[in-house]
Amino acid sequence: MKVVINTYKKHKTTVDNFIINSIKNTSINYIENAESIFKKYDFIQLIYSVDEAFNQVSPIICKDKRETLNIGNSKSHYFSKLDLNEDGFYISNPYIHYRTGKASLTVVRKIDDHYYIFDCNLLFLLEELKLIEYNSVHDKVTRIIYATGATILAIVAIALIVYGGYRLVELFFMNPESDFFHSIFKSIIAVTLGIAIFDLAKQIMEHEVLFRNFSHEDGHQYKVLGKFLSSIVIALSIETLMVVFKITLDDYTNMLYAFYLIIGTTVMFVGLAFFFKTIQNSKES
């Protein structure tokens, strides 16, 4: 929503001229020709008219219905700040439409002793002018796919956390004679991985489903990847520590394998540090 409004403000003159010219190029019998106007201009979502006293004199015509209940009602509270230009037009500031919940503009045109009101969907308007790339079908399909994937990841994360808790309960209450270090580290690793995966699912759900935007914050994808990789490296470090302890307590001949694991984990640490350093440098440049 913020991106839509900011884009409109940036290109306000172009957008306003397009709206005015579009309305001028249609028949002035706006109420009678409402259906053809809706077909020609997808961004227009509502049309009605009022008289000079700002009393509604026509039905409120939407794309899928007509409402006649409010005919005769005063609309003067909507026109308190009306300031027509030399062509008899007024375009409001962007607002959230009470019917659609979308960013909208209201356009008023005076012809003789009547005012004609057009409510415009700002997103569709900017998309028609190619100022924003948006496709409603593609957006819905993308949201569904992301939501499904994030939900599955969240279920996996919860399962890992529950498993980690189960191993801990099993260690203390169900099988206290089991290998303490092995069980406790398995519990920690499961919970750590569960939190990492859940954090990834949360990021996907927030940024791609619930609060999806048309332009992502710079470096957002790197932040998500960085947090996930950090959790993975922590889990690997815990696993390495567990292996070292087990070899130290059991069989020193396998210490070489622990050394290789430590080297691998260290390489991942260095790689992660280089990753964050590279991102930081790209932001500063």
Q: What is the pLDDT of residue 159?
A: 94
- Among the listed ranges 39-48, 137-146, 260-269, which one has the minimum average pLDDT value? 137-146
The more confident residue out of 156 and 221 is: 156
Share of the chain above pLDDT 70, in %: 87
Which distant-in-sequence residues (6+ apart) come within 8 Å of 31 by Cβ? 47, 48, 49, 58, 59, 61, 116
Mapped onto helix, strand or coil, the DSSP state of residue 107 is: strand
What CATH number does the domain located at 2-128 have? Answer: 3.30.450.20
Sign of the four-CA dihedral 236, 241, 244, 246: negative
pTM: 0.54
- Among the listed ranges 85-89, 95-99, 150-154, 159-163, which one has the minimum average pLDDT value? 95-99
| Burial bucket for residue 281 (CB in 10 Å: 0-12, 13-18, 19+) | exposed
Amino acid identity of residue 260, one-letter, is: Y
Instruction: Sketch the domain layout of the chain as residue ranges.
Output: 2-128, 136-284
pLDDT digits (tens, 9 = 90+) for 157-203: 999 999 988 888 887 877 766 667 677 777 887 887 888 788 888 87
Q: What is the mean pLDDT of residues 258-263?
A: 82
Going by C-alpha positions, the residue among 101, 207, 188, 85 that lies closest to residue 150 is 207
Q: What is the pLDDT of residue 116?
A: 95
| Burial bucket for residue 192 (CB in 10 Å: 0-12, 13-18, 19+) | buried
DSSP E strands in 75-201: the ranges are 89-91, 95-96, 103-111, 114-121
Q: What is the mean pLDDT of residues 250-273?
A: 80
- Among the listed ranges 13-27, 50-64, 108-122, 180-194, which one has the minimum average pLDDT value? 180-194
Structure confidence at residue 222 as a pLDDT band (50, 70, 90): low
pLDDT digits (tens, 9 = 90+) for 107-140: 999 998 899 999 999 988 888 888 876 556 767 7
Q: What is the pLDDT of residue 214?
A: 53
